[in-house]
DNA sequence: ATCAAGGCTTTTTTT
DNA sequence: AAGCCTTGAT
């Protein structure tokens, strides 16, 4: 039982409390995972059957790692029997098992966000609604938050308050769209992400025998990251725990960062009400970070009003101060951080794995990607467009989906004419209209064209028939071939492989696409080999829908710098952390400036970012950055000001080179004078005179579209268009403060701003 | 039915 | 800057 010796008093207390309701408030870096792991191991060693344990984690990866660690204590075969995973993946398995009760096919499809939006777009069009007022993403947002609050389409249509809100927002027909969307998903045998929660709740609500079964099965329940659960998750857990009331929730209100997808801190407060006899454990000692980092983080989070009192402290060394770097542009930010990483790697014995660059929005990754590539530093970007969201992968997966669930409309729409087989838009529209009018799936129409009164000409009929025959031939092999064999067959006979092979010599992107398909196929091969049971393509799809980048650990062993959003860094730690883009309107996000609660969530997000760092943390911001192709100037984030100045060190890198001194070297501390140095350095100007004679082959000057230029009167601008040559050359220039101007180049005396 | 070109919009975070 | 959509030519 020596593993218990690794725990401090409060950790041990939480581990040894097996029965009843308990809440563990775990500060950042306080050994939360260790407590969860050891607690489960302890339970099993004390005679609790792993089959009776349900552990809900935040990522699949966390679940895998925990299973492994528990396996080391109690043996892997025991650990394997614990039901552990994300809400979504655990529930999707339960739903597969009970699909028929809810009127879904066992092989129901899981629509991802892209599928949902595409369907909504169609519906909005079919209903003849203004697609400016009804944007698929905002409509999906409405529907999603309704589902997360267990409001069905019918309830939505009857809820005065919601209808009023929609009316106010000039989108009174969302309830109609919701209803249609629900019908269409059902007809397609598809659940979206939110349905996985919503339908699980329906299952447990309407089928007492199912509820009783799972209540009996899951006698002990653990929920990680409880602060990020939404109402649906809360209620499901509550129902499951109702008979035994052995429930342990772990969380940290200071790290609640998912309210945009319905997470509700209220759930933590409700816990007291639901389980009045609950025991509370607080883990306050931080084992992860230096004193500087812990205290800087504390000074930040103390600015929030909404919080549960706790004092996070550490015994670790003081460590280095937090470095603050200012750069001119977003590109320079990339170069300087890249240079810091390069230098750090040269001078110390750190590994690239020890380094993370964290940002608020995915699109910021680009500058760092480019810079790191130039420095020849290996990196991996998490999030953004994940492997499974790539077009070529989704295309092939759509074939798989249609094979296992022919009702899947989104899959069908995707591949009906891909690779190109002469089935055009008109044909597709007619099919969809017929399907809608008769309230059946498109596939149903497709296999009975006559029955639905579609009079296509012979050419079209033949092509459709050919398509149907192909899909049917795949379906016929669903059970005779394993997942890999069938996947390979489909990749070949669908023509996808051929198509991509032919495009391969077009460029590196095309090569990559082909390689991605190969990678997917070998992934399926691995999936088949990983088990003694025969794995079918349906089995594979079941697994794949809920995988994310964070879950794939193929590159785990490789040595690379990590690039990710702060959101996806939750739960991780790195010795060296760079938090970049510390600018107003970016972090905190512009979208979050409307209310205190939103701003506080951004602040918690910053708290999460800071507390990822073990030894060193560097903040950076750019004086201006390109946003939608325009150079916008920006101010340093208020969050920098909010950190107690004692913990900061301001570093002004030398201009020009984009490289700077080593990471650990402190160069004369600049006092924190009047907030931050907000004056912008002026970019270097290159006078046109210097460029005389450097005209290009057309006899034109060196102006180019996209160039940033300086005008005497209008200031900085960007060339958006060039017309004519020589003396007649005209330039269209966008000036942020003066709008678009058409200028005659000869007179305008535009000075080119040097790219950095 | 297909393809290229040009215009228009994009405005966070994720299962 | 990039992706999506419409348009117009073939």
Q: What is the pLDDT, as a whole number, of residue A725?
A: 59
Report CA(A700)–C1'(B7) in Å, whole number.
Answer: 27
More confident residue, A400 or A653: A400
DSSP H or E stretch at residue A38: helix A32-45
Q: What is the pLDDT, as a whole number, of residue A3?
A: 86
Q: What DSSP designation does A589 have?
A: B
- Count H helices and E strands in chain A, helices first: 31, 24
Catalytic residue at A224?
yes
Question: What would the pLDDT profile of A591-600 be if each residue is shown by its tens digit?
Answer: 899 889 999 9
Per DSSP, the residues of A49-79 read -GGGEEEEESSHHHHHHHHHHHHHHH-HHHH
Report CA(A701)–C1'(C1) in Å, whole number.
Answer: 24
- The nt closest to A193 (CA vs C1′) is B15
Q: What is the pLDDT, as a whole number, of residue A671?
A: 31
Whether residue A673 is predicted with pLDDT greater than 90 in this model: the reply is: no
**A341 pLDDT band (50/70/90 cuts)?**
very high
**A1 pLDDT band (50/70/90 cuts)?**
low
Residues found in chain A: 756
Q: What is the pLDDT, as a whole number, of residue A550?
A: 66
* Protein-contacted positions of strand C (CB under 7 Å): 1-2, 5
* Protein-contacted positions of strand B (CB under 7 Å): 1-3, 9-15
**A657 pLDDT band (50/70/90 cuts)?**
very low
Catalytic residue at A255?
yes
What does the pLDDT average to over A557-569?
89
> What are the phi and psi torsion angles at A261 (to 5°)?
-110, 30
Question: What would the pLDDT profile of A13-64 be if each residue is shown by its tens digit?
Answer: 999 999 999 999 999 999 999 999 999 999 999 999 999 999 999 888 889 9
Calculate the CA A718 to chain-centre distance: 33
**Among residues A166, A225, A332, A601, which one is catalytic?**
A225
Question: What would the pLDDT profile of A191-218 be if each residue is shown by its tens digit?
Answer: 999 999 999 999 999 999 999 999 999 9
Question: What would the pLDDT profile of A233-260 be if each residue is shown by its tens digit?
Answer: 999 999 999 999 999 999 999 999 998 8
- Single out the residue of A661, A658, A655 nearest to residue A681, CA to CA: A655
In whole angstroms, give the CA distance from residue A407 to residue A471.
Answer: 12
What are the contacts of A342-346 at 24+ separation with CB within 8 A?
Answer: A342/A375, A342/A377, A342/A659, A343/A659, A343/A660, A343/A661, A343/A662, A343/A663, A344/A576, A344/A662, A344/A663, A344/A664, A345/A377, A346/A662
Contacts of residue A643, Cβ cutoff 8 Å, sequence gap at least 6: A296, A299, A300, A322
Whether residue A656 is predicted with pLDDT greater than 90 in this model: the reply is: no
Question: What would the pLDDT profile of A96-146 be if each residue is shown by its tens digit?
Answer: 999 999 999 999 999 999 999 999 999 998 898 888 889 999 999 999 999
Whether residue A679 is predicted with pLDDT greater than 50 in this model: the reply is: no
- Whether the CB-CB separation of A47 and A81 falls below 8 Å is answered with no
A578 torsion bin: left (phi>0), alpha (psi -120 to 50), beta (else)? beta
pTM of the model: 0.84
**Among residues A255, A314, A323, A710, which one is catalytic?**
A255
In whole angstroms, give the CA distance from residue A436 to residue A445.
Answer: 10
DSSP H or E stretch at residue A418: none
In whole angstroms, give the CA distance from residue A650 to residue A677.
Answer: 10
- The nt closest to A547 (CA vs C1′) is B15
Report CA(A47)–C1'(B2) in Å, whole number.
Answer: 68
Question: What would the pLDDT profile of A579-588 be if each residue is shown by its tens digit?
Answer: 999 999 999 9
- Across chain A, mean pLDDT equals 86
Burial class (CB within 10 angstroms; exposed 0-12, middle 13-18, buried 19+) of A140? buried
- The nt closest to A366 (CA vs C1′) is C1
Report CA(A546)–C1'(B2) in Å, whole number.
Answer: 36
In whole angstroms, give the CA distance from residue A712 to residue A743.
Answer: 12
Report CA(A362)–C1'(B6) in Å, whole number.
Answer: 28
- CB of A628 nearer than 7 A to strand C: yes
Contacts of residue A698, Cβ cutoff 8 Å, sequence gap at least 6: A725
In whole angstroms, give the CA distance from residue A628 to residue A718.
Answer: 12
- Single out the residue of A312, A177, A187, A308 nearest to residue A253, CA to CA: A308
Report CA(A389)–C1'(C3) in Å, whole number.
Answer: 15
In whole angstroms, give the CA distance from residue A558 to residue A538.
Answer: 31
The protein residue nearest C3 (Cα–C1') is A628
- The nt closest to A626 (CA vs C1′) is C1
In whole angstroms, give the CA distance from residue A89 to residue A56.
Answer: 9
Report CA(A614)–C1'(C6) in Å, whole number.
Answer: 52
Per DSSP, the residues of A273-312 read HH-TT-EEEEE-EE-SS-HHHHHHHHHHHTT-SS------
In whole angstroms, give the CA distance from residue A409 to residue A432.
Answer: 9
Burial class (CB within 10 angstroms; exposed 0-12, middle 13-18, buried 19+) of A727? exposed
- CB of A629 nearer than 7 A to strand C: yes
Specify the 3-state DSSP secondary structure of A355: strand
Report CA(A190)–C1'(B11) in Å, whole number.
Answer: 30
- CB of A509 nearer than 7 A to strand C: no
What does the pLDDT average to over A481-496?
94
Specify the 3-state DSSP secondary structure of A695: coil
**A629 pLDDT band (50/70/90 cuts)?**
confident
In whole angstroms, give the CA distance from residue A127 to residue A406.
Answer: 25
Question: What would the pLDDT profile of A509-518 be if each residue is shown by its tens digit?
Answer: 788 888 889 9
- The nt closest to A605 (CA vs C1′) is B13
Neighbours of A679 (CB within 10 A): 7
Report CA(A628)–C1'(B10) in Å, whole number.
Answer: 8
The protein residue nearest C1 (Cα–C1') is A629
Calculate the CA A551 to chain-centre distance: 12
Work out the angle at residue A143's Cα, subtended by the Cα atoms of residues A161 and A429, and round it to the nearest 5 degrees. Answer: 130
Contacts of residue A531, Cβ cutoff 8 Å, sequence gap at least 6: none
- The nt closest to A60 (CA vs C1′) is B15
Work out the angle at residue A552's Cα, subtended by the Cα atoms of residues A548 and A553, and round it to the nearest 5 degrees. Answer: 155
> What are the phi and psi torsion angles at A327 (to 5°)?
-130, 165
Catalytic residue at A348?
no
Q: What is the pLDDT, as a whole number, of residue A666?
A: 34
Question: What would the pLDDT profile of A533-549 be if each residue is shown by its tens digit?
Answer: 889 998 899 888 887 76
Report CA(A394)–C1'(B15) in Å, whole number.
Answer: 17
Question: What would the pLDDT profile of A451-474 be if each residue is shown by its tens digit?
Answer: 998 888 888 899 999 999 999 999
Q: What is the pLDDT, as a whole number, of residue A653?
A: 53
- Whether the CB-CB separation of A410 and A188 falls below 8 Å is answered with yes
Report CA(A309)–C1'(B2) in Å, whole number.
Answer: 64
Q: What is the pLDDT, as a whole number, of residue A665?
A: 31
Q: Which of residues 400-419 of A touch strand C (CB under 7 A)?
A: none
Question: What would the pLDDT profile of A680-700 be if each residue is shown by its tens digit?
Answer: 333 322 223 233 223 333 333
- Whether the CB-CB separation of A312 and A30 falls below 8 Å is answered with yes
The protein residue nearest B14 (Cα–C1') is A261
Question: What would the pLDDT profile of A719-747 be if each residue is shown by its tens digit?
Answer: 776 666 555 566 777 766 665 666 666 55
In whole angstroms, give the CA distance from residue A569 to residue A579.
Answer: 11
Catalytic residue at A612?
yes
Whether residue A190 is predicted with pLDDT greater than 70 in this model: the reply is: yes
Query: What angle do the packed helices A365-374 and A330-347 form, to 10 degrees?
Result: 50
Q: What is the pLDDT, as a whole number, of residue A754?
A: 57
- CB of A121 nearer than 7 A to strand C: yes
**Among residues A33, A307, A389, A686, which one is catalytic?**
A33
A676 torsion bin: left (phi>0), alpha (psi -120 to 50), beta (else)? beta
Catalytic residue at A295?
no
Whether residue A662 is predicted with pLDDT greater than 50 in this model: the reply is: no
Count CA atoms closer than 13 A to A300's CA, side-chain side.
29
Whether residue A678 is predicted with pLDDT greater than 50 in this model: the reply is: no
* Residues by Cβ under 7 A, strand B: A 59, 86-89, 112-113, 135, 137, 193-194, 257-258, 260-261, 360-363, 383, 417, 420-427, 460, 546, 548, 550, 565, 567-568, 589-592, 598, 627-629
Q: Which of residues 587-626 of A touch strand C (CB under 7 A)?
A: 626
In whole angstroms, give the CA distance from residue A483 to residue A498.
Answer: 20
Q: Is the dihedral of CA A717, A719, A721, A725 positive or negative?
A: positive
Per residue in A466-486, is it b (16+ CB within 10 Å) or e — as a string? Answer: ebeebbeebeebbeebbbbbb
**A170 pLDDT band (50/70/90 cuts)?**
confident
- The nt closest to A706 (CA vs C1′) is C1
Catalytic residue at A33?
yes
Specify the 3-state DSSP secondary structure of A472: helix
- The nt closest to A628 (CA vs C1′) is C1
How many percent of chain A have pLDDT more than 70? Answer: 87
- Single out the residue of A469, A466, A491, A481 nearest to residue A400, CA to CA: A491
Report CA(A485)–C1'(B1) in Å, whole number.
Answer: 34
- The nt closest to A125 (CA vs C1′) is C5
């Amino acid at each position: 039982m020596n593993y218990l010796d690794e725990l401090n008093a409060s950790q041990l207390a939480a581990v040894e409390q097996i029965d009843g309701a308990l809440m563990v408030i775990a500060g950042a870096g306080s050994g939360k995972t260790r407590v969860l792991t050891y607690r489960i191991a302890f339970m099993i060693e004390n005679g609790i059957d792993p089959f009776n344990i349900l552990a809900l984690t935040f990522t699949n990866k966390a679940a895998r790692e925990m299973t492994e660690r528990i396996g080391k204590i109690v043996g892997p075969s025991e650990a394997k029997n614990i039901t552990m995973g994300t809400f979504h993946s655990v529930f999707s398995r339960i739903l597969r098992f009970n699909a028929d009760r809810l009127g879904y096919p066992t092989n129901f499809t899981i629509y991802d966000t892209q599928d949902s939006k595409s369907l909504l777009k169609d519906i909005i069009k079919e209903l003849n609604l203004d697609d400016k007022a009804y944007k698929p993403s905002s409509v999906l947002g409405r529907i999603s938050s309704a589902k997360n609050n267990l409001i069905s389409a019918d309830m939505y249509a009857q809820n005065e308050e919601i209808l009023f809100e929609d009316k106010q927002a000039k989108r009174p027909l969302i309830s109609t769209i919701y209803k249609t969307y629900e019908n269409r998903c059902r007809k397609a045998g598809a659940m979206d992400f939110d349905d996985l929660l919503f339908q699980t709740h329906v299952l447990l609500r309407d089928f007492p025998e199912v509820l009783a079964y799972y209540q009996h099965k899951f006698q002990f329940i653990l929920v990680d990251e409880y602060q990020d659960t939404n109402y649906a998750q809360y209620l499901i857990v509550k129902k499951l725990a109702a008979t035994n009331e052995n429930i342990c929730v772990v969380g940290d209100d200071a790290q609640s960062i998912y309210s945009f997808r319905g997470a509700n801190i209220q759930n933590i407060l409700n816990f007291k009400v639901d389980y009045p006899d609950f025991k509370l454990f607080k883990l306050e000692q931080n084992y992860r970070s230096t004193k500087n980092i812990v205290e800087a983080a504390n000074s930040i989070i103390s600015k929030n009003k909404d919080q549960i009192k706790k004092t996070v402290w550490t015994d670790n060394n003081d460590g280095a101060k937090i470095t603050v770097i200012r750069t001119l542009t977003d590109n320079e930010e990339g170069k300087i951080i890249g240079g810091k990483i390069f230098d750090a790697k040269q001078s110390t014995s750190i590994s690239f794995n020890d380094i993370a660059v964290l940002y608020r929005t995915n699109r910021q990754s680009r500058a760092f990607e480019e810079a790191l590539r130039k420095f020849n530093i290996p990196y991996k970007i998490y999030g953004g467009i994940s492997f499974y969201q790539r077009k070529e992968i989704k295309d092939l997966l759509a074939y798989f989906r249609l094979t296992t669930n022919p009702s899947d409309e989104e899959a069908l729409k995707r591949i009906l004419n891909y690779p190109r087989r002469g089935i055009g838009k008109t044909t597709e529209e007619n099919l969809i209209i017929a399907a809608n009018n008769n309230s059946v799936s498109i596939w149903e129409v497709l296999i009975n064209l006559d029955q639905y009164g579609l009079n296509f000409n012979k050419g079209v009929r033949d092509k459709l028939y050919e398509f149907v025959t192909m899909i049917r031939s795949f379906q016929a092999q669903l059970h005779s071939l394993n997942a890999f064999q069938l996947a390979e067959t489909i990749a070949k006979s669908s023509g996808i492989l051929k198509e991509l092979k032919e495009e391969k010599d077009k460029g590196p992107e095309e090569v990559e696409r082909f390689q991605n398909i190969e990678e997917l196929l070998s992934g399926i091969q691995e999936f088949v080999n990983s088990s003694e049971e025969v794995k079918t393509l349906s089995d594979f799809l079941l697994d794949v829908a809920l995988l994310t980048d964070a879950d794939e650990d193929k590159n785990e062993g490789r040595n690379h710098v990590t690039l990710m959003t702060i959101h996806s860094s939750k739960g991780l730690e790195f010795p060296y952390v760079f938090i970049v883009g510390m600018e107003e309107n970016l972090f905190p996000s512009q979208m979050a400036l409307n209310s205190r609660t939103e701003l506080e969530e951004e602040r918690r997000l910053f708290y999460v970012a800071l507390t990822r760092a073990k030894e060193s943390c560097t903040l950076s911001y750019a004086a201006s950055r390109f946003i939608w192709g325009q150079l916008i100037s920006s101010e340093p984030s208020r969050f920098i000001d909010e950190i107690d100045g004692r913990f900061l060190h301001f570093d002004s890198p030398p201009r020009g080179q984009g490289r700077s001194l080593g990471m650990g070297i402190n160069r004369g501390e600049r006092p924190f004078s009047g907030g931050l140095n907000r004056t912008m350095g002026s970019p270097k100007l290159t006078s046109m005179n210097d460029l005389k004679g450097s005209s290009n082959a057309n006899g034109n000057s060196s102006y180019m579209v996209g160039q940033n230029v300086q005008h005497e009167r209008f200031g900085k601008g960007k060339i958006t268009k060039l017309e004519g040559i020589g003396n007649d050359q005209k330039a269209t220039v966008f000036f942020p403060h003066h709008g678009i101007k058409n200028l005659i180049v000869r007179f305008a005396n535009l000075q080119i701003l040097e790219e950095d």
